[in-house]
Every structure is written in structure tokens, then in C-alpha cells.
Amino acid sequence: MAFPWQNLFYVLAAACNREEHTMNEHEHFMQIALEQAEDALAHGEFPVGSVIVHEGRVVASGQRRHTLEQKESVNEIDHAEVLALRSLLARETAVDPSELVVYATMEPCLMCFSTLILNGIRRIVYAYEDVMGGGTNLPLAQLNPLYAKMEVTVIPHVMRQQSLGLFQRFFANPENQYWKDSLLANYTLNQ
């Protein structure tokens, strides 16, 4: 004879197993984004990496570019998420954007977050919070109709410590001038 609480146990156990599987999946893809960020850092760039995943496989990737230039000429468009999205769109692959998941080693800024959601992406996973320019806390429901009905899932802090280490290395290097002495740099170095 089965007791009602046994059914509840099986439902909870299945839910925990799915959550664990999902977290392992998130860590797997975040590791790939971290490799992109590590490569960016090795080239002196701000260590942000991003991958776009569809049905369990990476379909595009990108890493931050053009932060090496002097402050007056830094390109603030070539963010990792935008470059990954451009790479995906250039392939003209027919994919339902609501099935995509974007992984980024830093919380997407307002520009990247808006670009992703306007392109139909509704799931974003990031590692390290951007206390200075993060855009994922944008109150979509309070905005104009285009945004107000969007439902976006954001999962923060997946492999946060590994990403934090990259940003600490970047900001600790006196040769790197990008966002030097900023709120983000100070927040990062004081951890």
C-alpha cells in the first residue's frame, strides 16, 4: 500500500534530480564560456566570454573585444554576448530563439540584455554580477508594451568564483586601463 507522502517524496526526488542535472548542464556550458573569457584575458581583453546553446550543444560563442585601445577609442559594442549573437545570426540557422540559452561570464549589461531579449532569447545564465552596469534587473513589466509582456529567466552566479578570479586578475594588472578604479574594479578587487 502506498502512502500519500510517498508520492510526494517521488515528485520531490524527481524535481531535485532535474535541478541537479540542470545545474551540471549550466556548469558545463559556463565552463566553455569561461574558456572564451580566459582567451580574451590572455589577449589583454576584458575577460567576458559567452556561448549560446541550443538543445544541449553550443551553436555560437564570443568574447569581449576592443578594450585594449586607449580610453577615448574603446569600442563598447563588441561585447561577448553581442558577438556570439552576431555569429549565430550570420549562419542563418533556423532556430527558435526561445529555445536558446545564453551563458556569460559576467552579467549582461543593459545593451546586451536588451539585444538578447529583442532577438527572442528568454534564458540567460551568468557567473559574476556586474554591480556597475548589469542590466538583468531591468523591470520589464514597468516598461512599454514591447517589453512589458516578456518573461525572461535569469540564473545568476553559476561558477561565480571562477569568473571572479578572471576579473581579479584583469583589474590587478596595472597595464589594464579598462574600467580602472571604477566601482566594478574596486568591488572585484575587494573580494
**Is residue 100 within 8 Å of residue 52, measured between CB atoms?**
yes
61 phi and psi angles, rounded to 5 deg: -145, 165
Round to whole Å and give the CA distance between 71 and 28.
35
The neighbour count for residue 97, using CB atoms within 10 Å, is 17
**Strand ranges (E), 71-129:** 100-106, 123-128
Whether 129 is a known active-site residue: answer no
Sorted by sequence, the CB contacts under 8 Å of residue 17 that are 6+ apart come out as none
Residue of 45, 81, 107, 129 with catalytic role: 81
Task: List the catalytic residues.
Answer: 81
